[in-house]
Every structure is written in structure tokens, then in C-alpha cells.
Amino acid sequence: MIVAVIMCFYRRDDLEYFKLSVDSILSQSYNSFELFIFRDGVVNPLAQQFLDSLKENTKVTVIESSSNIGLARGLNVLIDRVTSLGYFDYI
């Protein structure tokens, strides 16, 4: 069973809590998952640096938007991406 984990990041979100969330997901003992992150609009340089570092992890896909489209639309972008890949059992 392969699980897709989706989350959005917006420039006003607290980077510290976002890092904790991502680290928690990536350190799970269950390894059959992929993490999809949607960057909603422009973020500060530290947040962008963290997102760029995540791109090196094969379990993480970062999708970026240059403008803010909102949480609901961002999640829909991720769901569309995950379902188009077709090999996930759960989102």
C-alpha cells in the first residue's frame, strides 16, 4: 500500500512548525509513502532554501506557484498531481 501525503505552505505559515511537520513525516517508520508539498506564492528566502533542500529527497515532490491561489485550490493541484500518477492507494 502506497500513501501520498499532501500539504501546502504559504508565506505566512510558521517555518519552524512546517519544518517540524515535514521532519515528522519523513521520519516515520512506515516507508511506503511520498510527500507532496505545494508552495502557495512567494515565500521568504529561508523557507525557499528549506523547500529547495527537500527537492533532493526522492520521497518529496515540491510544486511551486508564483502567486497565491489559496489552500483549497493548492490542495486540488496536489490531488490532481497524485491521482494522475495513478499508483497511490491512499491520499
Angle at 55 between CA 35 and CA 70, to 5 degrees: 60
pLDDT of residue 84: 86
Residue bearing cell 526522492? 58
Report the predicted TM-score, pTM, of the whole model to 2 decimal places.
0.89
Q: Classify the C-alpha dihedral 77-57-86-25 as positive or negative.
A: negative
Q: What is the mean pLDDT of each run of 10 residues along the chain (91 residues)?
A: 91 86 95 94 90 94 93 93 82 64
